[in-house]
Structure 1
Amino acid sequence: MRWTIKPKPKQADIDQLANSLKVDDLVAQLLLQRGVSTYDEAKKFFRPELSDLHDPFLMKDMEVAVARIEKAIDSNENILIYGDYDVDGTTAVALLSSYLLEDYTNVATYIPDRYGEGYGVSLKGIDFAEDNDFSLIVALDCGVKAINQVNYAKEKGVDFIICDHHRPGEKLPDAIAVLDPKRNDCQYPYDELCGCGVGFKLIQALASKKGQTIESLIPYLDLVATAIGADIVPITGENRVLAYHGMQVVNSNPRIGFQAIINQVKKKELTITDVVFIIAPRINAAGRMEHGQHAVNLLTETDLKQAETFAAAIEQYNFDRRSLDQEITKEALDQIKTNKEENRFTSVVYNENWHKGVIGIVASRLTEIYYRPTLVFTKSGDKLAASARSVKGFDVYKALEGCVDCIEQFGGHKYAAGLTLLEEQYENFKSQFENVVADSIPPELLVPEQQIDAEIALNKISSKLMRIIRQFAPFGPGNMNPVFMAENVQDTGYAKGVGEDEKHLKLTVTQKGSKPIGAIGFNLGDKIGVVKSKNRFDIAFNLDENEWQGNVSIQLKLKDLK
């Protein structure tokens, strides 16, 4: 890893904020690095208020969308809530459908089949709407590029409202309303909402028309926080407010479906990181292994016994997903080695038998191993489908735009995308993608970066500092858990490899003038040689807590050492 230390703010700014907040220089520095420079900004950061949320009617087309839904309810129309099969889509569908069902019964949900229909708005879904007399479809977390599908629906007398957060194309679908803060003509103050976040803005607007307060929508925020964490959107601005209050709901009064999952994993208090690694994969597993509708059923269930039955099925899907993911990752690595492609700028692999539901996870695994833009392809009907993942700082979506003559369809974000192409175009695409990336990626982006917020002496680490750092949560892009660096530390002599194959590193470190402090380095077992024989070394770490036999102590969670 290459370590890069974030620029330290001006000392005068640190002094001013430290005095204003009555905190030490280190805390002031961390806040300034996160764009917090005044007392009022710090208050909003540490105590986000629901009143800080923006007026939903600032979003382009919101008035039209609300009016169309109100008309549908007044006219007793059937409304179909349609969403993608991932966490963001299924939580958004659960959110809007359960809100509308509170006082209107003609509402149903539809999640496309990952294998039979693929990503986004499908013609099959529109046919389902027509066959079952749905005159309004509200699409969540998808649809901003569904120009042909919306025209097809229009011919059948089915109206569309689109709630999306992906980048629009040059032309928007001819829908009744397109709610997407990334629209060029949308002046909404915050454009980093996830799909479920856009859905929340819609229910916020509907609620305000009904005279409901924002407090009445708090029970929905566990869904929004989960989507924010799972979709890896920045936890800044409005997302921070939604995630902060959503995590309080997750831990104090979660919906029955979440409670059923939490009961299975037996964890007391969840952080947003736990939501990303415990709850989100289980919700995702339904769409990956069986059908995303199972996730919606769980998230909207109000009977705990039934929810626990759903959660048990989803737990099995997650177990099956993990097994498949390991198997396919091994096959993909073998393919790269067999083809002698270890030294390319990209990883592009294909097997027609790979399970479409896990190729995105496999792409992430390969990216971690080779640290370069990666695509994993499988057969999907008469075409090939792929999941793309990128490395920090490189826009894979833009790179795909450079290969557009080989691609049938694609969409996504800077760091993750999906695409389809004809099988005969695979080799052309593989070669073109390699060339585009080779010509455009700065060499330093092919080496994993460990950003460091600040240097710290071990004797400055205290329970008070730990308490303050915990209040920086929820963590995520734009507000990552602070990473510190300590130089010239030593192990006390008892470092050892722990876990399966001793792949983790457990040690106790000291620095001149400091007491010993425990540290754990996950997946750093191969670095044990660096720390043996009282060698001196530098560490990059987060502050963490270790609970053992009822005792809680501070421990360092190592990110890297050298």
Structure 2
Amino acid sequence: MENNWNYSEFEENDQLIDLIEALDVSKTIGELLINRGIDSFDKAKKFFRPDIEELHNPFLMKGMDEAVIRIQDAIDNNENILIYGDYDVDGTTSVALMFQYLRNFTKNLHYYIPDRYKEGYGVSNIGVDFAIDNNFSLVIALDCGIKAVDKVERAKTNDVDFIICDHHTPGEILPNAIILNPKQKGCTYPFKELCGCGVGFKLAQALNDSFALPFSEVEHLLDLVMVAIGADMVSVMGENRILAYHGLKKLNQAPRIGFSVLLELAGKQTPLTVTDVVFTLAPRINAAGRIKSGNKAVELLLATTMMEAQSIGKEINEYNTTRRLIEKDITEEALTMISSNVDEDKQFTTVLYNDTWHKGVVGIVASRVIEKYYKPTIILTESNGMAVGSVRSVENINVYEALCACEEHIEQFGGHMYAAGLTLRIEKIDDFRVAFNEAVKIQSDAKRKIPKIAVEAEIDFRDIFLEEQNSIPKFYRILKQFAPFGPDNMNPIFRTNMVRPVNSPKILKEAHLKIKLVQDDIEIDAIGFNFQDQFKYLDNKVFNVVYHLEENRWKGKSNLQLILKDLKPYS
């Protein structure tokens, strides 16, 4: 698929010049910082060295005082407490975090992960029944619950209280519960983009403060928060940058046993990046809930012995292998369905249904379809007599708003701008497909059908090395300090024009491109993953390339390489 390369020329000004001089960095580094709102020495210091002391006071969050008091009462009165969370990464890490913290104060503690296939996403009737039948008087729901109005009310009438720690967009009517959600009306908490595990961490932090305990009692939980931030693709600026920065440090220096086992099984070594979290740890943790049960993920995250962790970790790793095979088959079926639809090019969305598809991988399949057709995509399958599925979006299309516009056709939905889940009656799929297409059409224009690559700077290879002979030059050493990368602080993509291949390119696994490129006598290795669509350009003698930079470690040696995002013949 062809891509648009978007690049806005940065005009040099006094602010940029002052920043470059204050930090002793190149013009390109200065531009990258200003693009992120970093326009002074003090802001740069906070950006490059996130300080744990800069975390916001958790009691600024609406409902926090009430939540802490309710939990303290439950502990003092020996009440049974149920930690409830979803089966995805954000949910299972949230449950592990809260369970690990509270078990220091009470033994009357249990956790509950709903079954993806019997119960579906969020607080379920089965889960509420479990709490009622087993004499739990307090449920702490994490990463879910903000729309479970009826279910929470039924729990309340049976003397079960709820504390809801959620980050999803609230509806007009809120559950009858103590609610911790920075996005709820009337909440003045300074940072709105916490993930579910982040909200859970703020509750643990507040409890810790109320118990007058040192911060170290919660700091060791930051590896869980960091993995949730990476997997849930929330902003990595503001408070999330502090949480992710220190969580990644914990993950690299002293990872919990469960993470160590998964990394070993995946053949990954430290130091890890957010990319490693997103593509190595997160899929394996998710695989437990996709194929078997999210309980397995929590068991692994709470494991205290290597023997226990290895046993569970191997099982989860096998689930991930199974998930990949299922995902590949369904993706191929979905793409075949699309190619046989003569009206596909006229549609602003893709909505596919097959009652045999595996519910656990529909979200991943939706993302794979977007890679080829680049339009908001919904993949639906059958579960308990209903059509259930996942929504994935493209740049600047808010699928949550689109679903709100189609609410009359949907039984249940929830999510974010770029991802959501939904349930609807099978007989309403056709009507919903039309309504959803119209809702997205209102947000769309023709240009948005073409994927965009946001190029932050146009540079020459010489700008990277600045006459240095080091294999890892100063430019990259500074750039590396921009991490952790993610939404609002993406790994910068650069453009370089008029590069030539030094040698014949290698095609790896029929999909990946490995090549050495040269510009003005400066050579650098490059690799492009899933570059099948670009193979047609390889006969050209001169390219323009867009890429981000990465340090490649092999057999104790390090060198800089380009991770290609796209290439086009020079003209």
TM-score interval (norm. to shorter): over 0.9
Partner of 1:510: 518
Residues in 1 aligned to 2:304 and 2:336: alpha-carbon distance in whole angstroms = 46
Query: Cα offset for 1:533?
Result: 5.0
Residues in 1 aligned to 2:132 and 2:74: alpha-carbon distance in whole angstroms = 15
Counterpart of 2:557, as a letter, is N
Q: What are the ranges of 5 or more consecutive residues in structure 1 without an aligned counterpart? A: none
Partner of 1:35: 37
**SS state of the match for residue 377, structure 1?**
strand
Partner of 1:308: 310
Query: Cα offset for 1:293?
Result: 0.7
Query: Cα offset for 1:404?
Result: 1.3
Residues in 2 aligned to 1:273 and 1:545: alpha-carbon distance in whole angstroms = 13
Q: Does the 8 Å contact 2:376/2:392 carry over to 1?
A: yes
| Alignment counterpart, residue 363 of structure 1, candidates 359, 362, 366 | 366
Q: Does the 8 Å contact 1:257/1:307 carry over to 2?
A: yes
Residues in 2 aligned to 1:373 and 1:334: alpha-carbon distance in whole angstroms = 17
Residues 286/14 of structure 1: CA separation in 2 closer, same or farther (3 Å cut): same
**SS state of the match for residue 461, structure 1?**
helix
Alignment of 1:57-136 (within 5 A): 57-136=59-138
Counterpart of 1:72, as a letter, is A
Residues in 2 aligned to 1:303 and 1:347: alpha-carbon distance in whole angstroms = 46
Q: Does the 8 Å contact 2:508/2:514 carry over to 1?
A: no
Query: Cα offset for 1:526?
Result: 4.0
Residues in 2 aligned to 1:302 and 1:478: alpha-carbon distance in whole angstroms = 36
Counterpart of 1:384, as a letter, is A
Query: Cα offset for 1:528?
Result: 3.7
Residues in 2 aligned to 1:433 and 1:290: alpha-carbon distance in whole angstroms = 31
Alignment of 1:86-485 (within 5 A): 86-175=88-177, 177-269=178-270, 270-343=272-345, 344-462=347-465, 463-485=473-495
| Alignment counterpart, residue 495 of structure 1, candidates 504, 508, 530 | 504
**SS state of the match for residue 26, structure 1?**
helix
| Alignment counterpart, residue 544 of structure 2, candidates 516, 521, 538 | 538
Q: Does the 8 Å contact 1:541/1:556 carry over to 2?
A: yes
Residues in 2 aligned to 1:96 and 1:533: alpha-carbon distance in whole angstroms = 56
Residues in 2 aligned to 1:260 and 1:490: alpha-carbon distance in whole angstroms = 42
Residues 533/148 of structure 1: CA separation in 2 closer, same or farther (3 Å cut): closer
Counterpart of 1:182, as a letter, is K
Query: Cα offset for 1:392?
Result: 1.1
Q: Does the 8 Å contact 2:75/2:105 carry over to 1?
A: no
What is the RMSD computed on CA atoms of the aligned residues? 1.3
Partner of 2:468: none
Partner of 1:44: 46
Residues 126/529 of structure 1: CA separation in 2 closer, same or farther (3 Å cut): closer
Query: Cα offset for 1:527?
Result: 2.5
Q: Does the 8 Å contact 1:384/1:423 carry over to 2?
A: yes
Residues in 2 aligned to 1:489 and 1:145: alpha-carbon distance in whole angstroms = 53
Normalising by structure 1, we get a TM-score of: 0.97
Counterpart of 1:551, as a letter, is K
Residues in 1 aligned to 2:252 and 2:267: alpha-carbon distance in whole angstroms = 13
Query: Cα offset for 1:489?
Result: 1.6
Counterpart of 2:550, as a letter, is D
Query: Cα offset for 1:312?
Result: 0.5
Query: Cα offset for 1:11?
Result: 2.4
Query: Cα offset for 1:498?
Result: 1.9
Partner of 1:53: 55
Partner of 2:567: 561
Residues 6/69 of structure 1: CA separation in 2 closer, same or farther (3 Å cut): farther
Aligned length: 557
Residues in 1 aligned to 2:533 and 2:394: alpha-carbon distance in whole angstroms = 23
**1:475-532 Cα distance to aligned partner (Å, 9 max, x none):** 000111111111122222x23242112x222222222x34222211112244244243
* Identity rate, percent: 50
Residues in 2 aligned to 1:217 and 1:154: alpha-carbon distance in whole angstroms = 30
Q: Does the 8 Å contact 2:194/2:240 carry over to 1?
A: yes
**SS state of the match for residue 20, structure 2?**
helix
The worse-fitting range, judged by mean Cα deviation, of 48-57 and 9-18 is 9-18
Partner of 1:551: 557
**SS state of the match for residue 522, structure 2?**
coil
Q: Does the 8 Å contact 1:498/1:525 carry over to 2?
A: no
Residues in 2 aligned to 1:240 and 1:52: alpha-carbon distance in whole angstroms = 11
Query: Cα offset for 1:275?
Result: 0.7
Residues in 1 aligned to 2:550 and 2:343: alpha-carbon distance in whole angstroms = 39
Residues in 1 aligned to 2:192 and 2:368: alpha-carbon distance in whole angstroms = 29
Q: What are the ranges of 5 or more consecutive residues in structure 2 without an aligned counterpart? A: 466-472
Residues 533/125 of structure 1: CA separation in 2 closer, same or farther (3 Å cut): closer
Q: Does the 8 Å contact 1:289/1:317 carry over to 2?
A: yes
The worse-fitting range, judged by mean Cα deviation, of 433-442 and 184-193 is 433-442
**SS state of the match for residue 187, structure 1?**
coil
Query: Cα offset for 1:339?
Result: 2.8
Residues 411/307 of structure 1: CA separation in 2 closer, same or farther (3 Å cut): same
Residues in 2 aligned to 1:547 and 1:235: alpha-carbon distance in whole angstroms = 25
**1:359-417 Cα distance to aligned partner (Å, 9 max, x none):** 11111111111000100010011211121110011101111112111111111000001
Residues 7/215 of structure 1: CA separation in 2 closer, same or farther (3 Å cut): farther
Normalising by structure 2, we get a TM-score of: 0.96
Q: Does the 8 Å contact 1:144/1:172 carry over to 2?
A: yes
Counterpart of 2:450, as a letter, is V
**SS state of the match for residue 393, structure 1?**
coil
Query: Cα offset for 1:212?
Result: 1.6
